[in-house]
Amino acid sequence: MARWEPGARERLVLAAVDLFSEQGYDETTVTQIAERAGVTKSTFFRHFPDKRELLVAGQETLSRLLASGIADAPADSTPLDAVAAGLARASDEMGPVNRDLGPRLKAAVAASTELQERDALKSVGLAAAMAEALVARGVPETSARLASEMGVLAFKQGFDRWSGDDRADDGPLAPHTLAALRDLRAAAAALG
């Protein structure tokens, strides 16, 4: 077992998601995850405090990318245009590993109440990061919260389309998240 082989964090996430899908979250141990990833148990704990945290691996980075995209949007951007800039920046960082992981992660979350709760907390964290970035741009808090919630929903819908079973489109994630945001804008306008 190679102790310092690169990519340990990513291998741990992939191993955990596969094991959660194969045998269930509750039945999967940290030792099994470490063994599947080809690392020691202590390496696991250098990267994650416990197995619940595997689901939110990368949340800080995703939140930072969304917020920085919003912050860097042109000054005259509407709140949803700024959210689109955040979605584009975060989506551009998603690659084939994220795409392949999507359906497996979705199945693991669907099979575990604890992972569903953790996933919901992840969504709250992403929305908070976007809302904070919008407020920093001078957007009123209520508008910032609404735009950020739409952004989270657009990201989830776009990611589901991109990583789903129908993979006729081998392109990047960004067009999917931005199309989902356009759909949500149209749906909101139709509410009257």
Determine phi and psi for 70, rounding to 5 degrees: -65, -45
Write down the pLDDT at residue 61: 87
Q: Which of 153, 117, 116, 151 is nearest to 132 (CA)?
A: 151
Angle formed at CA 191 by CA 132 and CA 79, multiple of 5 degrees: 25
Q: Could you give the dihedral angle defined by the CA atoms of residues 154, 160, 166 and 168, in that order, rounded to the nearest 10 degrees?
A: 50
Going along the chain from its start, the domains and CATH numbers come out as 8-54 (1.10.10.60), 58-190 (1.10.357.10)
Q: What is the mean pLDDT of the chain?
A: 90
User: CA of 110: how far to CAs of 17, 26, 64, 132, in Å?
Assistant: 12, 13, 26, 29
From the CB of residue 158, how many other CB atoms can be counted at a distance below 10 Å?
23
pTM: 0.84
Q: Which residue has the higher pLDDT, 170 or 74?
A: 74
Write down the pLDDT at residue 166: 67
Q: How far apart are CA 99 and CA 162, in angstroms?
A: 7
Beta carbons of 170 and 99 less than 8 angstroms apart: no
Q: Which residue has the higher pLDDT, 25 or 82?
A: 82
Q: Could you give the dihedral angle defined by the CA atoms of residues 59, 175, 152 and 65, in that order, rounded to the nearest 10 degrees?
A: 40
**106, pLDDT greater than 90:** no
**28, pLDDT greater than 60:** yes
Write down the pLDDT at residue 40: 93
